[in-house]
Chains A and B, each alone.
Chain A
Amino acid sequence: MTLTGTATGRTVRGAIGQSPTRPDGVAKVQGTFAFSSDVPIDGARWGMTLRSPHPYARILALDVSGAWSIDGVAAVITGDDVPGKTTYGLITADQPVFASDVVRYVGEPVAAVAADHPETCRRALDAIVVTYEVLEPLLDADAALDPATPPIHPDGNVLRSQAVRRGDLSVTGAVVVEGTYEIGMQDQAFLGLEAAVAVPDPGGRSIELYVATQWLHEDRKQIAACLDLPEESVRLVLGGVGGAFGAREDISLQVHTCLLALRIGAPVRMAYSRAESFLGHVHRHPARIWMRHHATAGGELVKVEARFVLDGGAYASTSSAVLLNAITHTQGPYRCPNAAVEGFAVRSNHLPCGAMRGFGVVQACFAHEGQMDKLAAACGLDPIEMRLRNALVTGDTLITGQVMESVAPVARCITETAALPMPLAAAATDAVMGRPGGAGLTADATHVRRGVGYGVAMKNLMYSEGFDDYSTARCVLADGVVTLKFATSEVGQGFVTIAQQIARTVLGVETVVLEPIDTQIGSSGSTSASRQTWMSGGAVDAACRAVRERLFEHVGETAGLDPLRLVVDGDEVADSMGEFRIAVADASSGRRFDETVEYHHRPTEELDEDGQGNCHTAFAFVAHRAVVDVDAELGLVKVVQVATAQDVGRALNPLAVLGQIEGGISQGVGLAVMEEIVQVDGVIRNANFTDYLLPTFLDMPTVVATLIEEPDPQAPLGAKGVGEPPCISVTPAVVAAIRDALAQFDGPDARPRAIDRIPVRPADIALA
């Protein structure tokens, strides 16, 4: 809007585009912020879960009498004690609350107890006798696809199969490269372990649950069905969330905690140990991906062929949606007219898999970026040039037939990443701590080479395939103070900060109070799919704008002005065509403007059998460059620096965006060189932080980042989701850099260059 009156275009402190601090920041640094493990409920009993030791077994007998005989035990429950629906699940309710006939993975819940002390719970669990008939587990994803393999679940072994076919499938290119890529199972490894407190109401016909979750209303729906209570009798309150990354999308301890509390008519607290957490939530899908790319001699993509097999583990969770994301991102951020892709998500007796940051696109990107480097080599092109020649632009048609309507600054992401400063040369970083192996002082500098690699990613934002996704927000303006209410899970990403910034910007009020996050308002949808800034930000923005309209009507009426002439300017309402001004605080004095709004994104479609359809809502893009030092003799890798340019649309809070970028990169680096859940014969072998390696301060590279701000007209605030892109293409960039380093060893020191499995383990480098 052009301002012709006295309006200045000023904003209040802490508005959009600034980086105000988090409203919960001081409480978090002082330790007074209550995580779901900290919610103070006096006299709560402890709950604990008995889990299967076998990947696949029939339960022949279950004797809980031993647990009852232990002093301090208040409740022992099994599958027989589930009053309502006996299964749950985000998309398909195929997972039992407690296994009663068959267990399908190591860690599947069989029974639960409540007692006065965690040690009493442990003793009670030990006293439960389960007689199993051990069955031959299904542990191979390809075998799961074989129709001759007996089904391990009544719903069958194939969770979803879906093809994407477009264009001329007979066409070939002058240059053809292919490869098979493997991705290991990654854990979200949030620090705040699963914890909840359930407080039943007197009479036991309703209950309140304090829980760390990504989606309160979806949890409530599933919990209420299992408890056989109406949804309105199950109230959920967000306990402080210690990170999520996808692992809190599914039900873990919610139903068990409520069942125990209702059984004894008193509050029950459940809190997983780290070992139990590895068993209790879903993980990133391990995948095997074959891809064959055809290109012209000049490096222009002609066709992509691919086959995806994702191991979904024992239960469905979100496997079908993860598969959709994977196969529809086969092309990556590149134009490709012809495609023949088939994808399968299968069931096995491994740990169940579902959402993790990047959600299927991480797997696809590792494969397509490996292919882009192979194509570059085959065409004699620089990896950057290869990518630039194929970079998507707005208006291009994807392999699903969907037209790219999002702003698509792919080429800018690539060139601006490449232009970022490189780290100091290896010789200049003389500190041995900086070498591969770090404080172990293992690296002999003569065996270390430095490599550089690139990765570029496209990521869909929000939910797909016809899901009517929405978020709800309420805004109240009274006496110069804004109060916001929403059910958006704050998991650490900082939506609470963004919400305040939006309200300040729209209403010109500095003081923005946030109501508790609970189910006492409509759903906000899930904190996942990089969707909350867009969806809940859109809802807060719309609710604040609705309040502003009421405010303008009121001011217009009192001042005798057409409300359409009014604007918020700084902390005042101003006449855009005249001299009139009044402070928002004065204009709202003694008044109360109260509006609740639902924000929906545009509709999407399901794919047809050829994988054609407008299935996605919007897209974001990112490029990464990794610089690594590799000690080929010991197989050790030190990631020195990661550079990135990310398409963010508009940075509502630049500091928070940087936090997402750096945090996402650490998880992508972890997947590249450290993190994998190891299962042997269906048994997890590293369910702890000693053996499941997370990047520490010393593993984390320096990050240099630049934000590409081209506001997206589709986005309510011009801002794209920024959570997932950072962790996607950094992984292939690191692996490309490792390949580049290994290519520098020759003669007797020569190393294989086909590093196509992540995480890259020392043996993959040193012993291959």
Chain B
Amino acid sequence: MEQYRLHVNGAEHDVVDAWLGESLLYVLRERLGLVAAKGACEEGECGSCSVLVDGHLVCSCLVLAASALDQPITTVEGLAERGAPTDVQQAFVDAGAVQCGFCTPGLVMAAHTLLDHNAEPSETEIREQLSGNICRCTGYGRIIEAVQRVSVARREATP
């Protein structure tokens, strides 16, 4: 059993008595109580566990927690204060992009990353960039709509 420290959402977290084989997803959820990232496939196919490690969008089920030391980790809990959703989060709610919501935290992370890198994505670019995230409820239409709404709103907000 080992002891190490993770930097998550701007705070230091000590992980004690942990088995080194634990994934970042397991440690976030079961040891740090950060359950926003979801486990749905455990092999990087569905994106439900997406978080940022050092600014890179990763599937936390595929990353060993002990390999993410000394790097800033951002989860959905770190995007905004509770009750004060980001523009992407609010657009998901408003556009009807949320049904069961299990894929949603991962998709929110992916959508933020997409818009950070491409402020005006085409529909094809949205589909391509988000294709690592599976949603079984919505058929994706309202999620694309949500991303497009944010893109337009940010453009209109820029003088």
Tell me if B99 and A659 are in contact (CB < 8 A). Answer: yes
Residue-wise interface mask of A (434-448) relative to B, using a CB-CB cutoff of 8 A (1 in contact, 0 not): 100001000000000
Residue-wise interface mask of B (34-74) relative to A, using a CB-CB cutoff of 8 A (1 in contact, 0 not): 01111111110110100000000000000000000000000
Given known pairs A31-B36, A31-B75, A31-B105, the reply for A700 and B139 (CB within 8 Å) is: yes
Chain B CB within 8 A of A655 CB: yes
Q: How far is the CB of A61 from chain B (nearest CB, A)?
A: 32
Cα separation A664 to B139 with both chains bound (whole Å): 7
Which of A21, A243, A655 contacts B100, CB < 8 Å? A243
Tell me if B35 and A31 are in contact (CB < 8 A). Answer: yes
Kindly report which residue of chain A lies nearest to residue B29, judged by CB atoms.
Answer: A38
Which of B38, B40, B134, B141 contacts A696, CB < 8 Å? B134
Cα separation A439 to B131 with both chains bound (whole Å): 11
Residues of B within 8 A of A29 (CB): 76, 85, 89-90, 92-93, 98, 101, 104-105, 108
Chain A CB within 8 A of B124 CB: yes
Cα separation A31 to B75 with both chains bound (whole Å): 9
Tell me if B98 and A30 are in contact (CB < 8 A). Answer: no
Chain B CB within 8 A of A173 CB: no
Residues of A within 8 A of B77 (CB): 30-32
Residue-wise interface mask of A (449-493) relative to B, using a CB-CB cutoff of 8 A (1 in contact, 0 not): 000000000000000000000000000000000000000000111
Tell me if B128 and A242 are in contact (CB < 8 A). Answer: no
Which of A25, A663, A688 contacts B41, CB < 8 Å? A688
Tell me if A38 and B35 are in contact (CB < 8 A). Answer: yes
Tell me if B33 and A690 are in contact (CB < 8 A). Answer: no
* 29 A-B pairs whose Cβ atoms sit less than 8 Å apart in the complex: A21-B93, A25-B93, A28-B98, A28-B101, A29-B76, A30-B89, A31-B35, A31-B75, A32-B36, A35-B102, A190-B100, A192-B102, A240-B101, A242-B100, A242-B101, A492-B101, A659-B139, A663-B137, A666-B136, A688-B41, A689-B40, A689-B43, A690-B43, A694-B134, A696-B132, A697-B130, A698-B131, A700-B139, A700-B140
Tell me if A659 and B138 are in contact (CB < 8 A). Answer: yes
Residue-wise interface mask of B (91-127) relative to A, using a CB-CB cutoff of 8 A (1 in contact, 0 not): 0111010111111110010000000000000001011
The 6 closest A-B pairs by CB, nearest first: A31-B36, A492-B100, A28-B101, A662-B139, A242-B102, A25-B93
Chain A CB within 8 A of B27 CB: no
Q: How far is the CB of A193 from chain B (nearest CB, A)?
A: 6
Cα separation A667 to B131 with both chains bound (whole Å): 16
Chain A CB within 8 A of B80 CB: yes
Cα separation A21 to B99 with both chains bound (whole Å): 11
Residue-wise interface mask of A (185-222) relative to B, using a CB-CB cutoff of 8 A (1 in contact, 0 not): 00011111100000000000000000000000000000
Residue-wise interface mask of A (491-515) relative to B, using a CB-CB cutoff of 8 A (1 in contact, 0 not): 1111000000000000000000000
Chain A CB within 8 A of B24 CB: no
Chain A CB within 8 A of B159 CB: no
Given known pairs A191-B100, A689-B134, the reply for A119 and B21 (CB within 8 Å) is: yes
Chain B CB within 8 A of A550 CB: no
Tell me if A189 and B99 are in contact (CB < 8 A). Answer: no
Chain A CB within 8 A of B4 CB: no
Chain A CB within 8 A of B10 CB: no
Most buried by A among B21, B43, B80, B101: B101
Residues of A within 8 A of B131 (CB): 696-698
Residues of A within 8 A of B94 (CB): 21
Chain B CB within 8 A of A545 CB: no
Kindly report which residue of chain A lies nearest to residue B129, judged by CB atoms.
Answer: A697
Residue-wise interface mask of B (1-36) relative to A, using a CB-CB cutoff of 8 A (1 in contact, 0 not): 000000000000000000101000010010001011
Cα separation A700 to B139 with both chains bound (whole Å): 7
Given known pairs A241-B100, A242-B101, A243-B137, the reply for A31 and B48 (CB within 8 Å) is: no
Contacts of A312-350 to chain B: CB distance below 8 A: none
Which of B35, B80, B127, B136 contacts A191, CB < 8 Å? B136
Tell me if B101 and A119 are in contact (CB < 8 A). Answer: no
Residues of A within 8 A of B89 (CB): 26, 29-30
Tell me if B40 and A193 are in contact (CB < 8 A). Answer: yes
Residue-wise interface mask of A (1-40) relative to B, using a CB-CB cutoff of 8 A (1 in contact, 0 not): 0000000000000000001011011101111111101101
Cα separation A190 to B79 with both chains bound (whole Å): 26
Chain B CB within 8 A of A656 CB: yes
Tell me if A663 and B99 are in contact (CB < 8 A). Answer: yes
Q: How far is the CB of A30 from chain B (nearest CB, A)?
A: 6
Q: How far is the CB of B137 from chain A (nearest CB, A)?
A: 5
Cα separation A688 to B134 with both chains bound (whole Å): 13
Q: How far is the CB of B81 from chain A (nearest CB, A)?
A: 9
Residues of B within 8 A of A431 (CB): 124
Given known pairs A21-B93, A190-B100, A689-B45, the reply for A665 and B127 (CB within 8 Å) is: no
Cα separation A439 to B125 with both chains bound (whole Å): 12
Kindly report which residue of chain B lies nearest to residue A661, judged by CB atoms.
Answer: B139
Cα separation A494 to B99 with both chains bound (whole Å): 7
Chain B CB within 8 A of A418 CB: no
Most buried by B among A31, A34, A242, A274: A31
Kindly report which residue of chain B lies nearest to residue A701, judged by CB atoms.
Answer: B139
Residues of B within 8 A of A189 (CB): 136
Chain B CB within 8 A of A273 CB: yes
Kindly report which residue of chain A lies nearest to residue B93, judged by CB atoms.
Answer: A25
Q: How far is the CB of A693 from chain B (nearest CB, A)?
A: 10
Residues of A within 8 A of B33 (CB): 40
